[in-house]
Amino acid sequence: MSSLYAKEAIKDHSDRYSHFKVATVHPFPEKAALEFLSDITDLIVIEELDPYLEEQFLQLIGRHHLDVNVYGKKNGHFPVSGEYDVDAVIDGVNSSLQAMNADVPLLTHSTPAVARENIPALPVRPPTFCAGCMHRNVFYAFKKAAAKLKKENGKGTVFSGDIGCYTLGNAQPLNMVDTCLCMGAGISMAAGLSHTQQYQNGNYAKQVAFIGDSTFFHSGIAAMISAVYNNADITLAVLDNRTTAMTGHQPHPGIGLTAMGNPTKAIDIAEVLRSCGVDLVETIGADDLGECIDMAKKAIEYEGPSAVVFKGKCVGITKATGQYVIDEEKCTGCNFCVSQLGCPAIFSMSSGIPQIQDNCTGCSLCAQVCPSDAIVLREVLQ
């Protein structure tokens, strides 16, 4: 991004600048950098976050005793924090040019069509699960199961999570993540809370922890062993979408492929949980909402550590299985599908009849919750 900002900033004077884009930082491309430095006397380093590239260039210049001046974060020409944009880059370049007394005209800001103070605010777009994400199904199932149990016996539920796609379960309308600290902490926090937190009438609230499949392997197993060892009354929901979705869809030990794409033995999460001493371990597909609610209720009601592995797909790496549409003749305009799920494929209309966009992936959750059976596959309506 910084490279693109730089290109846009100097577009009217590009003949006066040499532009070197560093696409890989580990290892730093020393040979290419040395070739670039051989033809210049002043270097302006534009990068967000820590001044890593600037430090690499300074070390390279020092090792080879090059007569090149460097302008960047370390000598105050660029901000050390915050997100860059073209205007920030222009200000940094101009500051550098003034410091070096260069015979180069200062860059100018493009005049916006509307004065900055009069620019309307962008529409609010809170982060949410992708349309068709299996995590939404599981969170909604636990939400319904917890509501049933509270109605039956008055016992509350606390939902612990951590860092991952499933952190987005904290947002409305799901509102299903009460804690978020670090990867794997959902289990250990739920275990700790199971011994300390009281609910109404002196009853302990049931603790439910959510964790992704990849996070389970690298930081969840030890926490689960500790929970079993310390007799924690918790339920673990493993959201197994068969990938490391948050950071780029890397494989993990449960996939059956190495990072190089070579076949390897797939480690079964349910078997690992049983070997940790969890007595109630179930595996279920995440598509059928009714079955998920029943399984969530069963696991929460179990006294002692319990776990359910919910298997589904990550829509970021799989193709859509179909698309759902609103049957306007059946739809009552209750907007239940919009208000309950928060799916980005469904939005309200002024007419009162919701609409489903083309980014629908066919997960069917909205069709399963619709009280009027007004959401059907596109082919059925046609």
Maximum distance among all alpha carbons in the chain?
79
Q: What is the pLDDT of residue 380?
A: 66
How does DSSP classify residue 179? E
**Does a cis peptide bond (omega within 30 degrees of 0) precede residue 173?**
yes
One domain for residues 72 and 191: no
d(CA 331, CA 146): 28
pLDDT score for 73: 97
**pTM given for the model:** 0.74
276's tokens: 């940790």
pLDDT for the residue numbered 199: 57
Q: What share of the chain has pLDDT > 90, as a percent?
A: 80
Same domain, 153 and 293: yes
Q: How large is the average pLDDT for residues 143-152?
A: 94
What CATH number corresponds to the domain at position 139?
3.40.50.970
Decide which of 118, 146, 174 is a domain's last residue: 118
Give the span between the Cα atoms of 180 and 51, in whole angstroms. Answer: 29
Task: Report DSSP state, residue 27.
Answer: S
Q: Is the pLDDT of residue 60 over 80?
A: yes
Nearest alpha carbon to residue 237 among 185, 281, 178, 205: 281
Whether the per-residue pLDDT at 290 is higher than 60: the answer is yes
Nearest Cα to 211, choosing from 79, 309, 66?
309
Last residue of a domain, one of 62, 88, 118: 118
Q: What is the pLDDT of residues 88-106, one digit of tens each?
A: 999 999 999 999 988 888 9
Q: How many domains does the chain have?
A: 3
CB 237 within 8 A of CB 211: yes
Are residues 111 and 227 located together in one domain of the fold? no
Average pLDDT over residues 157-183: 94
Contact by Cβ (8 Å): 265, 344? no
Residues 224-249 pLDDT 10s: 999 999 999 999 999 999 999 989 89
Q: In CATH, what number is assigned to the domain containing residue 92?
A: 3.40.50
Q: Is residue 220 scored above 70 in pLDDT?
A: yes
The answer to whether 344 touches 359, Cβ cutoff 8 Å, is yes
Q: For 64-93, what is the mean pLDDT?
A: 95
- Are 114 and 141 in the same domain? no
Q: Tokens representing 17? A: 């600048």
Residue 255 sits in which domain range?
A: 134-311
Q: d(Cα 128, Cα 149) in Å, to the nearest integer?
A: 27
Dist CA 269 CA 221 (whole Å): 10
* Rounded mean pLDDT, 7-22: 92
CA dihedral 29, 30, 35, 38 (to 10 degrees): 140
Give the pair of three-digit tokens for residue 370. Answer: 């619709």
Closest CA to 314 of 245, 264, 251, 377: 245
Q: Place 18 in a pLDDT band, splitting at 50, 70 and 90.
A: very high
Query: What is the percent of the chain where pLDDT is above 70?
Result: 96
Residues 107 and 222 in one domain: no
User: For the CA atoms of 362, 363, 369, 370, what is the dihedral angle to 10 degrees?
Assistant: 0
Do the domain assignments include residue 176?
Answer: yes
Pick from 215, 155, 161: which is nearest to 187 by CA?
161
In whole numbers, what is the pLDDT of the chain averaged over residues?
A: 92
Rounded to an integer, what distance in angstroms lies between the CA atom of residue 138 and that of residue 164? 15
Confidence of residue 116 (pLDDT cuts 50, 70, 90): low
User: Does the pLDDT at position 80 exceed 70?
Assistant: yes
Same domain assignment for residues 261 and 170: yes
- When pLDDT is averaged across residues 269-288 and rounded to a whole number, the result is 97
With 60 as the cut, is the pLDDT of residue 382 above it?
Answer: no
Which amino acid is residue 236, in one-letter code?
L
Displacement of CA 225 from its chain's centroid (Å): 27
Q: Which residues contact 193 (CB under 8 A, 6 or more apart)?
A: 158, 160, 205, 207
> Looking at 118, 144, 166, which one is the last position of a domain?
118
Q: Which DSSP state fits 220? A: I
The Cα angle at residue 180 between residues 174 and 185, in degrees rounded to 5: 125
